[in-house]
């Protein structure tokens, strides 16, 4: 298996950012998410530089949904990132992390009146997803005495090679405004009093391992940009979304590099803006690429059972990492306390949740596993903790951040008290 440079093996143990996973698990308990801050910074730098080689005015908007821990948002804010925020909660987190409101884009296909009022009050730009929403935003901005700068989200009607649940630019997707309505939307925005159209947005999907769809989407945006420019609108930014995939299947997947991504997308973008005679910023919204490989989920083996298969029953399930059950996603697993031992059999790693689908990894060749061993689930940084739940009334686990020799909690583990803390007794049960 190809390990990324921040994951190493020493003394038979897996290390992350130089920290022994076995020691971390002893100190903080399991299950435990551990993230290497330096890896996030390295991923950010590589991604941004790859694009900046072609064009200087690049702005990275981290997709906060991938991992919304404040510490991670702070790390990225300090690198100059803004954020793609998809809820009032993500907006609050991004601002709390010190991000510039002008570098946030409030996205989403179903924003509430409260969301729209909040966007207006905080001075963040909004990716408007329907003409209905445009009218509501105009009214909300008017009520707040503000003018809100907006983009429209374009539906590019593109098939992309990824799991159907995370392809977002299909003709049939709920996101974006169809090409045949998009100019009407911009026209109507021009006529609004409290909304100013200054951008264009698109996001075609996630975990895409081919650069061609990104170039195609940029091509669709280029065409719309020309028509929008002809309407007399001066585009300040074009936002091509996120979606670059990572090689979860570490011995098989070949993921495009950020340089390959940039080489595919940038010529289309540059050609388009030259043709329009404009110099907008290019905004990109990577989530997974920045944080996906930065994190391992450490989970202890409770028991091993020889049944139809050999089941390794661990203490983290789809309550903490939902990607396998939701998308049949592959995550590599390593026996962290015997990381250099040869495979001795085939194991299926299953969580503690009361559903048959609670499988972290099926039929993996691993060293002999026994109770008390520690399993590391790799590439758990994106859509791991952020999609976790308290199902089966399991408090969520802590998250640790490491940076060089330092390690610290960036979220404490929940307790059963946290589960009951928000519950209330209806008066007739008193
Ligand atoms: N921009 C928008 C508008 C998005 O909706 C998303 C992701 C991104 C950017 C970031 O995409 P990324 O670069 O991370 O691929 N839970 C799924 C992924 C859902 C992605 C949702 N939107 C998973 O675990 O694979």
**pLDDT-derived band of residue 160, with 50, 70 and 90 as boundaries?**
confident
Distance 33 CA to ligand 1 centre (A): 20
Query: Is residue 285 over pLDDT 90?
Result: yes
Cβ–ligand 1 contact at 63 (below 6 Å): yes
What's the rounded mean pLDDT across residues 50-62? 98
Query: Is residue 81 over pLDDT 90?
Result: yes
3-state secondary structure at position 154: strand
List, for residues 1-16, the tens digit of each pLDDT value.
Answer: 899 999 999 999 999 9
Ligand 1 atom having least distance to the Cα of 245: 15
3-state secondary structure at position 80: coil
- Tell me which residue of 237, 157, 246, 165 sits closest to 204, measured CA to CA: 157
Query: Is residue 158 over pLDDT 90?
Result: no
Degrees to nearest 5, angle at CA 127 with 272 and 52: 45
From 9-23, 49-63, 162-176, 346-360, the region with the lowest mean pLDDT: 162-176
Residues above pLDDT 70, as percent of the chain: 100
String of DSSP letters for 256-315: PPHHHHHHHHHHHHHHHHHHHT--PEEEE--SHHHHGGGEEEEEEEEEEEESSSEEEEES
Ligand 1 atom 5: the closest Cα is on which residue? Answer: 203
Degrees to nearest 5, angle at CA 333 with 412 and 364: 145
Ligand 1 atom 19: the closest Cα is on which residue? Answer: 166
Ligand 1 atom 22: the closest Cα is on which residue? Answer: 206
Ligand 1 atom having least distance to the Cα of 387: 16
**What is the number of residues in the chain?**
430
Q: What is the pLDDT of residue 197?
A: 98
String of DSSP letters for 316-366: --TTT--HHHHH-----EEEGGGTTSPP-EEEEEE-SSSSTT-EEEEEEEE
Query: Is residue 401 over pLDDT 90?
Result: yes
Cβ–ligand 1 contact at 315 (below 6 Å): no
What's the rounded mean pLDDT across residues 185-195? 97
Q: How far is CA 36 from CA 41, 332, 410, in A?
A: 9, 17, 12
Cβ–ligand 1 contact at 242 (below 6 Å): yes
| E-assigned strand segments in 90-147 | 104-106, 125-128
Distance 382 CA to ligand 1 centre (A): 9
Distance 244 CA to ligand 1 centre (A): 9
- Tell me which residue of 111, 83, 386, 382 sits closest to 239, measured CA to CA: 83
List, for residues 308-336, the tens digit of each pLDDT value.
Answer: 999 999 999 999 999 999 999 999 999 99
What's the rounded mean pLDDT across residues 219-228? 92
Distance 377 CA to ligand 1 centre (A): 20
Residue with tokens 């609108």: 233
Cβ-contact 132, 156 below 8 angstroms: no
List, for residues 230-280, the tens digit of each pLDDT value.
Answer: 999 999 999 999 999 999 999 999 999 999 999 999 999 999 999 989 999
Mean pLDDT over each residue of the chain, to the nearest integer: 96
**pLDDT-derived band of residue 49, with 50, 70 and 90 as boundaries?**
very high
Q: What is the pLDDT of residue 162?
A: 86
Compute the 3-state secondary structure of the chain and give helix, strand, coil in percent, each to the nearest 5.
35, 25, 40
Query: Is residue 228 over pLDDT 90?
Result: yes
**pLDDT-derived band of residue 157, with 50, 70 and 90 as boundaries?**
confident
Residue with tokens 């374009």: 154
Query: Is residue 71 over pLDDT 90?
Result: yes
Catalytic positions are 354
**pLDDT-derived band of residue 378, with 50, 70 and 90 as boundaries?**
very high
């Amino acid at each position: 298996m190809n390990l990324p440079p921040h994951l190493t093996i020493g003394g038979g143990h897996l290390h992350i950012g130089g920290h022994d996973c076995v020691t971390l698990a002893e100190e903080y308990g399991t299950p435990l998410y551990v993230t290497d801050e330096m890896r996030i910074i390295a991923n950010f730098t590589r991604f941004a530089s790859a694009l900046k080689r072609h064009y200087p005015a690049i702005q990275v908007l981290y997709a906060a949904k991938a991992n919304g821990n404040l510490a991670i948002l702070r790390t990225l804010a300090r690198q100059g990132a803004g954020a793609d925020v998809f809820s009032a909660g993500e907006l609050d987190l991004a601002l709390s992390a010190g991000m510039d409101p002008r570098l946030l884009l409030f996205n989403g296909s179903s924003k509430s009146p409260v969301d729209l009022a909040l966007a207006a009050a905080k001075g963040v730009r909004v990716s408007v997803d329907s003409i209905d929403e445009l009218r509501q935003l105009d009214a909300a901005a008017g009520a707040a005495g503000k003018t809100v700068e907006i983009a429209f989200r374009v539906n590019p009607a593109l098939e992309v090679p990824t799991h159907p649940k995370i392809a977002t630019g299909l003709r049939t997707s709920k996101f974006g405004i169809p090409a045949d309505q998009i100019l009407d939307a911009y026209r109507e925005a021009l006529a609004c009093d409290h909304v100013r159209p200054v951008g264009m947005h698109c996001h075609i999907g996630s975990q895409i391992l081919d650069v061609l769809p990104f170039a195609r989407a940029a091509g669709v945006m280029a065409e719309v940009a020309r028509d929008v420019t002809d309407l007399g609108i001066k585009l300040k930014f074009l936002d091509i979304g996120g979606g670059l995939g990572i090689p979860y299947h570490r011995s098989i997947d070949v993921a495009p590099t950020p340089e390959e991504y940039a080489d595919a997308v940038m010529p289309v973008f540059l050609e388009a803006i030259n043709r329009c005679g404009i110099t907008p910023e290019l905004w990109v919204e990577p989530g997974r690429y920045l944080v996906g490989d930065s994190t391992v989920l450490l989970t202890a083996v409770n028991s091993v059972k020889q049944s139809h298969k050999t089941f390794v029953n661990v203490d983290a399930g789809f309550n903490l990492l939902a990607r396998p059950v939701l998308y049949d996603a592959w995550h590599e697993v390593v026996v962290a306390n015997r990381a250099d031992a040869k495979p001795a059999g085939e194991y299926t790693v299953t969580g503690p949740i009361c559903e048959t689908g609670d499988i972290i990894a099926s039929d993996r060749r691993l060293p002999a596993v026994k109770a008390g061993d520690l399993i590391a689930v790799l590439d758990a940084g994106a859509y791991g903790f952020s999609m976790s739940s308290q199902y089966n009334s399991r408090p969520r686990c802590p998250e640790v951040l490491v940076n060089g020799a330092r390690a610290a909690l960036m979220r404490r583990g929940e307790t059963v008290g946290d589960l009951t803390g928000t519950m209330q007794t209806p008066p007739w049960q008193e």
